[in-house]
C-alpha cells in the first residue's frame, strides 16, 4: 500500500472560456504525475474535459465550503508536465493582460487536438414508429439515419427546426427507453505515432553471426550494428539494405535480431529534412559586430534585457541573430526565433538550420496536428534547444531560455485576433524573456513606433545597423553591396493629365520594366490588391454588386478563360457568383470595371510585354500547399522575369537579379480610417523597396501614387525611417494614440442591426460611467465598423483610450467591470481587444 499523498488536492484550470480555478481530489495512483503543469481529464459540470494542474496542496487549508463538492481527477495525460512552471505564470499574465481566461491562454500554449472533451449525445434505441407523437418520431428517424452513431444533444434542436433543445421531449424518450443519453468522450485527435523498429538482439541468443548467409542478412546486421541500441525503423532499414520481412524472419528465428514498437517523429516535408551544409563563417561588418557584442555579451552575462535591432534591409540582421543563438547554446541555454508566418519559408529555415542543424525544431501552421504534436513533445523533452516558428512559438515549452528573437517585430501578423487570447507575440516575447532573465532581440528595418518609444524611454537598448553589408554570391565570393536603391515617385494624377494613362502602369514604369527585360534582370511588382477589379459599376444606372451577407462591394475575378467567365467574389465571406454581361437593374450592357487587382495588372503586362514571363503571387495563387514555395523557387532560378503580387512579395525575399521594384499603387490602404494606416504604408513601401539591388547590381524603385506629398511616400523616398517616425510620433502624441496612449477595442456583434446597435450603445454608456472614475480615460463610439456587416453579422466598434501612464491593469478593470455589468446578452458577441492592431 503506497502512503497517501501529502498533497491530495489539485487546483485545475479547465481549458475553456470559464473563469476560475477548481479543486479536485488526486487519486493516489495519480499522485506522482498530477503535478503542476500536467494536463488532466476532469469532470466539469455535466461534461468531461481537459485542464491543467496549476498547483497541488494538502487538505488542511481547504475551505469547508468547497470540501463537499470535490470530485476526483479522471486521468493524467502527461507523464512529464506539459506546461513548465514559467509558462504557467506567463499564460496567467497573458490572460490578465488580454482579458481572457487562464484556460484560453493555456490552450494557446498547448498543441491543438491533444486534449479530451465530452459532449452530451443521444443514441436511438427504438424505431420511429414506436412513438406516436410527430416530434418524437422525427428525432427517432434522425437517430436511425445515423446508424447508432449518436447525435450531439445540441443538434437535436436543428433536427426539429427550432432554436432550443427540447429537454422535456428527450427526457420522456429516455424514460420510455426509446433513446439513451450519454456523455461521449472525444479522445485526442493527435497522438504519438509508433512504428516497428529492429535492433540487434542482446545478448545474441543461439546463432552466431558468422553463420549468416546471404548479402541481405549481412547488410541488415551491419546496418543495425551501426545504429546501436535505439534500433532503426524497419521500413528505413529495408530501404537502406534491401532486406525484406523474410530476412528479418530468419534472423529473428536465430535470435540475432529483435523487433519492437517505438515512437517515431513525424516530420513536415519541405521545411524540414536533413540539415543543409554549414556555410563558412563570414566576417562581421562593424555595426554587426557592435550589435553582436552587445547581445551576446548580455546573454553570456545572463543579465537579460531587450534590444531593438534596427537594421536597414540587407544590413545582415540574420547573421546577428545566428550569433545570439550561438551565444545562448554555448552557455547551455535554449532559444526561440519568431518569424512572421509568411516569412517562414524554406529559405528562412535553411538559414537557421545551416549552422545549428539538428538542434532546430520548426513549428508552423501548415504542419499536421500529428507533426506538430511530435515536434512539441520533443521540444518539451529537451531534444531541440532552438525553436523557430510563427507567433504561437513564443509559448514553446523550452526550459532554461537564453534568448528570444522576434524578426520583423513590426509585423501585424504577430497579433492574434481569433480565437482568444488576443495577444501580441512580440509583447509576450519581451515579457517571457524578462521573467526568464533571458535576452529579447526585436529586429526590423522599420520598427513599430511602440518599440521606438520603448527604446527612446530607455526600456530597450537600441542597436543601429544603417548600412548594407557585403554579400556572398552562390560561387562563394563576397562583393560589396549595392547602396540602398534610389526611389522615384511617379505622380499618377499628373501622369493621367499629361500622358492619358489608361491602365495601371505608367510610361516610366513600363520603360523601367522594358530595360530590365532587355538586360535579363528581374522585376518585383507590388499591387496590394488581389482579383481583377475591386469594383464593377453600371455606366447607366450606377448599380454596383454587393455581397448579400457583408457590407462590401464584390471584387471581379477573371480566370484564364477570360472575360466571359468573370466571377464576383466577396473577400470577407468567400461568396462567389457569376458576373452577368448586363446590368440586372437596367439591362445596360456597358459595365465598367473600376480599379486594378493583381490579375488585371498581369493582363496588362501580358499585353505590353508579351514575351515577359510573369509569376503572380497572391492569396489566390498560393492557397494550395507548397504553391508559395514553388513560385519563389521558379523566380529564384531565373525562370521568370517579373514577380507580381500582393504584400507577400514585400517580405524578406532576397534575389540577386532583382534590380527593379515597382509599386503599382502605393496608396492602397494609405487612406483607411485607421491611425496606423500611414505607419503600415511606410513599412510596406520600405520593405518592398529593400528587395531591389541587394547584391552587386544597383537597384531602382518606382512608386506610383496620387499622393506624392503624403508623409509615408516622402520618407520612403529618402529611406528615412527616423524622419518618418519623428513626424508620425508627433501626430500620435497630439491625438493620444499609441505609443502615447493605451487602447482597448470593443467589438459588438449580432445577427440583427437594431439590437446590436442598442447593445453597443449600452456598452458606450456603461464605459462612459466607468471611465469617469479614472482620470484620463476616454470612450470613442460606438460607431458602425468599417465593414458594418460580415457573414450576416452586424458589427459596431467602441474604443477606450487611456494615457500611457495609466497602468494596464486599471484600464483592464474598467472594461472588465462593463463586461460583468452589460455583457453580451441575447445571442450577441462582444470581443475585447487590448492593444488592438487592426481597424478601429
Partner DNA sequence: AGCACGCCGACT
Partner DNA sequence: GTCGGCGTGCTC
Q: How many chain residues bind DNA (CB under 7 A)?
A: 39
Please give the Cα distance from 554 to 585 (Å, whole number).
Answer: 16
Q: Which is nearer to DNA, 163 or 210 (CB)?
A: 163
Task: Please choose, out of 288-296, 357-365, 379-387, 820-828, the segment that lies near DNA by the rule CB under 7 A.
Answer: 820-828
Task: Please choose, out of 354-362, 389-397, 737-745, 823-831, the segment that lies near DNA by the rule CB under 7 A.
Answer: 823-831
Scan residues 60-89 and list those touching DNA (CB under 7 A). Answer: 66, 69-71
Can you tell me which of 39, 119, 424, 789 binds DNA, judged by CB under 7 A?
119
We find the least distance from the C-beta atom of residue 8 to DNA, in angstroms, to be 12
Dihedral sign computed on CA atoms, order 646, 648, 651, 652: negative
Q: Does 246 bind DNA (CB under 7 A)?
A: no
Cβ distance 753 to 784 under 8 Å? no
We find the least distance from the C-beta atom of residue 166 to DNA, in angstroms, to be 4
Cβ distance 321 to 343 under 8 Å? no
Q: Which is nearer to DNA, 92 or 634 (CB)?
A: 92
Cβ distance 608 to 510 under 8 Å? yes
Q: How many CB atoms lie within 10 A of CB 714?
A: 17
Give Cα 591 distance to the centre of its chain: 39
Can you tell me which of 5, 13, 24, 692 binds DNA, judged by CB under 7 A?
24
Can you tell me which of 22, 74, 417, 572 binds DNA, judged by CB under 7 A?
22
Can you tell me which of 7, 16, 196, 822 binds DNA, judged by CB under 7 A?
16
3-state class (DSSP) for residue 465: strand
Is 440 labelled as part of a ligand binding site? no
Binding mask 131-170 for DNA (x = CB under 7 A): ----x----------------xxx--x--x-xxxxxxxx-
Is 100 labelled as part of a ligand binding site? no
Please give the Cα distance from 50 to 53 (Å, whole number).
Answer: 10
We find the least distance from the C-beta atom of residue 59 to DNA, in angstroms, to be 12
DSSP 758-810: HHHHHHHHHHHHHHHTSTT-EEEEEEEEEEEEETTEEEEEEEEEEETTS-HHH
Task: Please choose, out of 42-50, 75-83, 329-337, 373-381, the segment that lies near DNA by the rule CB under 7 A.
Answer: 42-50
Q: Does 825 bind DNA (CB under 7 A)?
A: yes
Please give the Cα distance from 167 to 793 (Å, whole number).
Answer: 29
Distances in whole angstroms, Cα of residue 393 to Cα of each of 88, 174, 488? 15, 47, 39
Q: What is the dihedral of CA 457, 463, 465, 466, to 10 degrees?
A: 20
Q: Which is nearer to DNA, 135 or 435 (CB)?
A: 135
Can you tell me which of 7, 47, 267, 537 binds DNA, judged by CB under 7 A?
47
Scan residues 586-605 and list those touching DNA (CB under 7 A). Answer: none
Q: Which is nearer to DNA, 31 or 602 (CB)?
A: 31
Q: 207 φ, ψ to 5°?
A: -50, 180
Q: Which is nearer to DNA, 20 or 574 (CB)?
A: 20
Can you tell me which of 228, 466, 626, 826 binds DNA, judged by CB under 7 A?
826
Query: Residues with Cβ < 8 Å from 87, sequence gap 6 or more?
Result: 37, 109, 395, 397
**β-pair partners for 106:** none
Task: Please choose, out of 37-45, 554-562, 669-677, 696-704, the segment that lies near DNA by the rule CB under 7 A.
Answer: 37-45
E strands within 168-248? 179-186, 193-200, 232-233
150 sits in the region (left: phi over 0; alpha: psi -120 to 50; else beta) called left
We find the least distance from the C-beta atom of residue 56 to DNA, in angstroms, to be 14
Closest CA to 325 of 276, 377, 398: 398
Q: Which is nearer to DNA, 158 or 723 (CB)?
A: 158
Please give the Cα distance from 735 to 16 (Å, whole number).
Answer: 38
Grid cell, residue 695, equals 547584391
Closest CA to 795 of 574, 556, 572: 572
Q: Which is nearer to DNA, 153 or 309 (CB)?
A: 153
Q: Does 705 bind DNA (CB under 7 A)?
A: no
Binding residues: 538, 541, 547, 550, 570, 573, 583, 586
Sites of contact with DNA (CB under 7 A)? 16-20, 22-24, 42-47, 66, 69-71, 118-120, 135, 152-154, 157, 160, 162-169, 825-827, 829
Binding residues for Zn(2+): 538, 541, 547, 550, 570, 573, 583, 586
Amino acid at each position: 500500500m503506497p502512503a497517501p499523498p501529502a498533497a491530495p488536492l489539485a487546483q485545475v484550470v479547465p481549458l475553456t472560456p470559464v473563469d476560475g480555478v477548481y479543486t479536485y481530489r488526486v487519486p493516489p495512483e495519480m499522485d506522482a504525475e498530477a503535478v503542476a503543469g500536467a494536463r488532466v481529464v476532469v469532470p466539469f459540470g455535466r461534461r468531461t474535459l481537459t485542464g491543467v494542474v496549476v498547483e497541488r496542496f494538502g487538505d488542511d487549508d481547504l475551505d469547508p465550503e468547497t470540501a463537499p463538492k470535490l470530485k476526483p481527477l479522471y486521468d493524467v495525460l502527461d507523464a512529464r508536465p506539459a506546461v513548465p512552471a514559467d509558462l504557467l505564470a506567463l499564460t496567467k499574465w497573458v490572460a490578465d493582460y488580454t482579458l481572457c481566461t487562464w484556460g484560453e491562454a493555456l490552450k494557446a500554449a498547448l498543441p491543438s487536438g491533444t486534449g479530451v472533451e465530452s459532449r452530451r449525445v443521444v443514441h436511438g434505441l427504438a424505431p420511429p414508429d414506436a412513438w406516436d407523437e410527430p416530434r418524437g418520431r422525427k428525432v427517432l428517424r434522425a437517430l436511425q439515419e445515423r446508424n447508432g452513431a449518436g447525435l450531439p444533444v445540441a443538434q437535436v434542436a436543428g433536427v426539429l427546426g427550432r432554436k432550443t433543445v427540447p429537454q422535456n421531449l428527450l427526457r420522456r424518450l429516455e424514460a420510455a427507453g426509446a433513446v439513451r443519453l450519454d456523455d461521449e468522450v472525444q479522445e485526442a485527435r493527435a497522438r504519438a505515432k509508433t512504428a516497428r523498429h529492429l535492433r540487434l538482439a542482446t545478448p545474441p541468443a543461439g546463432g552466431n553471426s558468422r553463420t549468416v548467409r546471404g548479402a541481405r542478412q549481412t547488410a541488415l546486421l551491419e546496418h543495425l550494428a551501426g545504429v546501436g541500441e535505439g534500433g532503426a525503423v524497419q521500413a528505413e532499414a529495408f530501404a537502406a539494405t534491401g532486406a525484406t520481412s523474410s530476412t528479418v524472419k530468419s534472423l529473428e528465428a536465430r535470435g540475432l535480431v529483435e523487433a519492437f514498437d517505438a515512437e517515431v517523429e513525424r516530420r513536415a516535408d519541405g521545411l524540414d529534412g536533413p540539415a543543409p551544409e554549414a556555410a563558412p563563417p563570414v566576417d562581421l561588418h562593424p555595426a554587426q559586430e557592435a550589435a553582436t557584442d552587445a547581445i551576446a555579451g548580455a546573454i553570456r552575462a545572463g543579465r537579460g534585457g531587450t534590444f531593438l535591432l534596427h537594421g536597414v534591409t540587407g544590413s545582415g540582421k540574420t547573421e546577428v541573430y545566428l550569433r545570439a543563438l550561438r551565444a545562448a547554446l554555448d552557455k547551455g541555454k535554449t532559444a526561440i526565433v519568431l518569424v512572421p508566418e509568411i516569412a517562414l519559408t524554406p529559405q528562412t529555415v535553411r538559414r537557421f538550420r545551416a549552422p545549428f542543424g539538428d538542434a532546430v525544431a520548426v513549428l508552423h501552421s501548415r504542419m499536421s496536428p500529428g507533426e506538430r504534436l511530435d515536434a512539441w513533445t520533443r521540444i518539451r523533452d529537451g531534444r531541440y534547444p532552438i525553436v523557430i516558428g510563427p507567433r504561437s512559438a513564443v509559448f514553446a515549452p523550452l526550459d532554461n531560455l537564453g534568448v528570444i528573437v522576434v524578426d520583423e517585430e513590426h509585423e501585424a501578423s504577430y497579433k492574434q485576433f481569433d480565437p482568444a487570447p488576443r495577444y501580441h507575440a512580440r509583447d509576450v516575447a519581451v515579457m517571457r524573456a524578462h521573467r526568464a532573465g533571458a535576452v529579447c532581440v526585436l529586429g526590423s528595418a522599420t520598427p513599430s513606433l511602440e518599440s521606438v518609444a520603448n527604446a527612446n524611454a530607455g526600456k530597450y537598448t537600441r542597436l543601429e545597423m544603417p548600412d548594407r553589408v557585403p554579400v556572398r554570391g552562390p560561387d562563394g565570393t563576397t562583393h560589396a553591396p549595392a547602396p540602398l536603391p534610389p526611389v522615384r515617385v511617379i505622380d499618377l494624377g499628373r501622369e493621367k493629365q499629361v500622358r492619358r494613362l489608361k491602365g495601371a502602369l505608367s510610361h516610366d514604369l513600363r520603360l523601367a520594366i522594358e530595360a530590365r527585360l532587355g538586360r535579363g534582370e528581374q522585376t518585383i511588382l507590388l499591387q496590394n490588391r488581389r482579383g481583377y477589379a475591386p469594383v464593377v459599376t453600371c455606366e447607366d444606372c450606377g448599380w454596383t454588386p454587393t455581397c448579400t451577407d457583408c457590407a462590401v462591394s464584390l471584387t471581379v475575378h477573371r480566370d484564364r478563360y477570360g472575360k466571359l467567365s468573370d466571377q464576383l467574389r466577396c473577400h470577407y465571406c468567400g461568396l462567389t457568383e457569376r458576373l452577368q454581361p448586363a446590368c440586372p437593374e437596367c439591362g445596360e450592357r456597358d459595365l465598367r470595371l473600376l480599379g486594378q487587382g493583381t490579375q488585371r495588372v498581369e493582363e496588362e503586362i501580358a499585353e505590353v510585354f508579351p514575351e515577359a514571363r510573369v509569376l503572380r503571387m497572391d492569396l489566390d495563387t498560393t492557397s494550395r500547399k507548397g504553391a508559395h514555395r514553388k513560385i519563389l523557387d521558379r523566380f529564384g532560378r531565373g525562370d521568370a522575369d517579373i514577380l507580381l503580387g500582393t504584400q507577400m512579395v514585400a517580405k524578406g525575399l532576397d534575389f540577386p537579379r532583382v534590380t527593379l521594384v515597382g509599386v503599382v499603387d502605393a496608396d492602397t490602404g494609405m487612406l483607411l480610417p485607421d491611425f496606423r494606416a500611414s505607419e503600415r504604408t511606410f513599412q510596406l513601401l520600405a520593405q518592398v523597396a529593400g528587395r531591389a539591388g541587394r547584391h552587386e547590381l544597383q537597384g531602382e524603385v518606382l512608386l506610383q501614387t496620387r499622393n506624392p506629398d503624403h508623409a509615408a511616400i516622402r520618407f520612403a523616398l529618402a529611406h528615412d525611417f527616423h524622419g518618418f517616425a519623428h513626424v508620425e510620433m508627433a501626430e500620435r502624441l497630439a491625438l493620444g494614440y499609441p505609443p502615447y496612449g493605451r487602447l482597448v477595442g470593443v467589438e459588438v456583434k449580432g445577427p440583427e442591426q437594431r439590437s446590436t446597435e442598442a447593445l453597443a450603445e449600452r456598452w458606450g454608456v456603461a464605459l462612459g460611467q466607468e471611465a469617469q472614475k479614472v482620470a484620463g480615460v476616454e470612450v470613442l463610439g460606438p460607431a458602425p465598423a468599417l465593414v458594418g456587416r460580415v457573414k450576416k453579422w452586424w458589427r459596431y466598434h467602441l474604443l477606450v483610450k487611456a494615457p500611457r501612464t495609466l497602468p494596464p491593469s486599471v484600464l483592464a478593470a474598467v472594461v472588465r467591470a462593463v463586461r460583468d455589468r452589460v455583457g453580451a446578452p441575447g445571442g450577441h458577441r462582444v470581443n475585447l481587444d487590448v492593444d488592438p492592431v487592426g481597424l478601429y
